[in-house]
Amino acid sequence: MSEPQDSGEPPSGLQLTTAEWGLWQAFRNGSEHDLRTREPELDDPNGDHTWGPERSVRARVIALLLLHGPPPLLGRVASLHLTGAYVTGCLDVSGGAVEPYFELRHCRFEQEVRMPEARLHTARFVDCYLPRLEAARLTTEGDLHLPRCSIPEGIKLTDATIGTDLLLNEATVGSSRRSRAISADGLTVSQELQASLLRVDGQTSLRGATIGSSLHMFGTVLRNPYGRFALYAPQMTVEQVASFADANRGSAPQFYGATPPTGTDYTFAGLTGAGGRRWDPHRTKHFECTGGVVLDDGRFGSSLVIENARFELQRDQELSLRRLSTPELTFTPQATERGLIVLSGATVEKLLDRVTSWPRDNRLWMAGFTYQHAIPKEGHFNVHERLQWVAAATAEYAPEPYEQLAAMYRNNGDDTNARLVLLAKQRRRRETLPLPGKLWGYLQDWTVAYGYRPAQAALWMGVLWLAGSLLFEAHRPPALKGDEAPHWSAALYVLDLLLPVISFGQDTAWDPGGVYQWIAALMIMLGWILATTVAAGATRLLRRQ
């Protein structure tokens, strides 16, 4: 059985059944071997009906064809196309080199499919029932397709290398007694990983995975109610877009990649799967996730899209985006009732968000989160709402989020909002100070708004000038040198007191005494503070111009 079947005949002693003999001939001819009854209820791989011997094919025969199959007929290319079969035994091609193309559709497997460390060109399982797929360190030159398959005991693709696309659209994957339903740490996919309308019960692990093009999870449902994480994908790299969003009319055309999955029926009116189930692309299906999500240290070359997604988190679970890097982050999920949203250390050039997507009860962490632009994707997001957003992220006072927000406004030429943010930072800092510091802070706030409202300082300057002018007009101080004193002007005298550097010759010519001397000294001190604030505001204005 280790030698190629040059004669084209099966090895002696194999004793092929009628179904297997038909598959043998179809393999040599490169044609499809269809064992379906044409009754949808009886052909459903997930159904309860028994598939008899007339539809049974031994996994041993399939492995023989794939690994050491007979030569094709003249003018044909040998390939395995099997539809509607009950595959008995364990299909095991571990460590083997599979040359022929193979596709199995609407098949029911009795035992798991094993392909660890195998090398093959393209493999497609469409609308099949597989108890489990073991394919660690699998290498394919082409696609690995599993659309609409039911795999109740999970998939293992650890350190696998997929030459083009990996398709999991509409598949249903469970974990049985294992902790992981999909174990794909170190997975490499050269082009797209499409997992739209996928349903997973158990943990999906993509730690260190590399996607050469895009990752699509439109309308996918990830559930792990008994574990900590539903999606565990730290250090994942996606060269273009990673999408966790709704499946609707706009996203439906992306369910299949550039390489069409042979035998997968797709029309814009609907998708037909095992058991005749259909999905109407005009009807929206949401991305849902029950359990924690970890995308820490991820790299997304074009954008990361988390749009209108539903996350159900427990109090100790997180939607964690620590230290990720992407040019554009779209963050518009439905607000979570529990759990944390963590953006600590993330680096984003453009943040597209929605005010209602962020938690308001100190469940947002974003220390060290940097962004160049923050643009509301839906509705409005004014500076006061941004300040509430920052306050929600700082249960205890931290200056970095305020400074980052102010820098964003300043870089966009909005100095007014930048000053509002920095003023809010000082007011928040004031809450952490001891009583003397708080009193001094309140004084700075009431008088000069910590220097961020120069117009307020100018107003106080005007009030002091008017009050001082009236006071000293009524209580004129005596002259230092009676014969040399200039003409008395209460208005100019008070200006001399309030304005540093500038002198009108009034303050040195008159000598107030008693309480008026103290009032004059107080005006000099306040004048320095207020004039400095006004000058700083004017300097910022001139610098911008």
Exposure string for 141-178, b = 16+ CB within 10 A, e = fewer: ebbbbbbbbbbbbbbbbbbbbbbbbbbbbbbbbbbeee
Give the other-Cβ count within 10 Å of 4's Cβ: 10
Q: Which pLDDT score is estimated for 533?
A: 62
Least-confidence region, from 243-252, 256-265, 479-488, 530-539: 256-265
- The pLDDT, as a whole number, for residue 348 is 95
What is the length of the chain?
Answer: 545
Give the residue, 189 or 262, on which the prediction is more confident. Answer: 189
Q: What's the pLDDT score for residue 393?
A: 83
- Bigger pLDDT: 136 vs 429: 136
pLDDT at 3: 46
Least confident of 10-14, 168-172, 241-245, 452-456: 452-456
Which of the pair, 419 or 446, is modelled with greater confidence? 419
Across 45-69, b (16+ Cβ under 10 Å) vs e yields bbeeeebeeebbbbbbbbbbbbbeb
532-545: per-residue pLDDT in tens? 666 655 454 434 43
pLDDT of the residue at 416: 82
Between these two residues, 251 and 231, which has the higher pLDDT value?
Answer: 231
pLDDT tens digit string along 463-503?
777 877 787 777 777 777 766 667 777 777 777 777 776 76
What tens digit of pLDDT does each residue of 513-527 get?
777 777 777 777 777
pLDDT tops 70 at residue 259? no
Residue 257 has pLDDT above 90, yes or no: no
Choose the most confident range, by mean pLDDT, from 273-287, 414-428, 517-531: 414-428
Sequence letter at residue 172: T
Least confident of 21-25, 222-226, 502-506: 502-506
To the nearest whole number, what is the mean pLDDT of the chain? 84
Return the structure tokens found at 394: 């700082």
Quick one: pLDDT at residue 260?
46
pLDDT digits (tens, 9 = 90+) for 371-409: 999 888 877 788 888 888 888 888 788 888 888 888 888
Q: What is the pLDDT of residue 264?
A: 38
Mean pLDDT of 261-279: 39
Give me the pLDDT at residue 251, please: 60
Q: Which residues of 431-454 are buried (b: 16+ CB within 10 A; e: fewer)?
A: eeeeeeeeeebeebbebbbbbbbb
Provide the pLDDT for residue 193: 96
Name residues whose C-beta falls within 8 Å of residue 41's C-beta, 6 or more positions apart in sequence: 47, 49
In the chain, % of residues over pLDDT 70: 83
Encoding tokens for residue 304?
């990361």
Q: What is the pLDDT of residue 377?
A: 85
Q: Which residue has the higher pLDDT, 542 or 360?
A: 360
pLDDT for 255:
52
Coil, helix or strand at residue 340:
strand
C-alpha distances out from residue 480 to 110, 391, 453, 525, Å? 112, 57, 39, 22
Convert the pLDDT of each residue in 65-120 to its tens digit. 999 999 999 889 999 999 999 999 999 999 999 999 999 999 999 999 999 999 99
Confidence of residue 345 (pLDDT cuts 50, 70, 90): very high
Cβ-contact 169, 197 below 8 angstroms: yes
Residue 132 and residue 159 in contact, taking contact as beta carbons nearer than 8 Å: no
List of E strands, 291-346: 292-294, 299-300, 303-307, 310-312, 318-320, 325-332, 340-342
Q: What is the share, in percent, of the chain residues with pLDDT greater than 90? A: 52
Amino acid 397: pLDDT: 82
Q: For residues 315 and 339, is the Cβ–Cβ distance under 8 A?
A: yes
SS3 346: coil
**pLDDT band per the 50, 70, 90 thresholds, residue 263:** very low
One-letter amino acid for residue 507 of the chain: D
